[in-house]
Each structure stands twice: as C-alpha cells, then as structure tokens.
Amino acid sequence: MREPSWRRDGEHPDYRFTLANERTFLAWIRTALALLAGAVLLDQFATALEPRVAVLVLAVVLAIAAAILSVGAYTRWRANEIAMRRNGPLPFSWVLPLISAIGLLAAAVLAALFVVTS
C-alpha cells in the first residue's frame, strides 16, 4: 500500500501522540464491533421481544451505526494525524454526538420493547 501524501506533510509528531491516536482509533473500532455484535444478537437471539419488526429495525440501525462508526474512526484518526503534523488544533468530530444519539435511541427502543413484551 502506498503511503498517503499527507504523511509527508508537516513535521513528524511525537510517537507517543501517534500511538495514543492509534489506540483511540482501535477503541472506536472495538465499539463498532460491539454495536455490530449487538445487532446480530438482537436479530438471532432476541426472539421473545415483540413486535418483531421493531427488533429488526433496531438491529439494522445498530449495524448501520457500526458502519458509520468505522468510517468515522478512520476519518477522525486521519484528521488528528494531519493536525498533529501541522501543529494545529484537533478537529471537532461529528461522530461523537451521532453515536451518542444512536445509543440513546437504541436504549429507549429496547426499554419500550421490554415493557411491551412483559
């Protein structure tokens, strides 16, 4: 794989900051995998929750959120690397409020499904 041109831009940051940025990226990827696992779990094992179409919609939303988070993790990692190389401020990430809102929505829907089913 060819090295991206932005990696030759600016100064090389302290390796500790680069490694911290990479650890953050990996944490976001783990979160995306957890969302995807939750989607699979809902679809395959939450057979007692009704209405089934609501469970399926929630599983699809979680799977899409996992995909969005994976893309957002890379774009955030890249933007942070560029900012560090240029000695600039770290950029705002649109993924944080979006994932928080999806988590809130998923929790509310699951709570409602638990009440309806019991």
Nearby residues of 105 by Cβ (< 8 Å), 6 or more positions away: 61
Helix, strand, coil shares, percent, the chain, to 5: 80, 0, 20
* pLDDT confidence band for 2 (50 / 70 / 90): confident
Model confidence over 18-63: pLDDT tens digits? 999 999 999 999 999 999 999 999 999 999 999 999 999 999 999 9
Q: State which amino acid sits at residue 9.
A: D
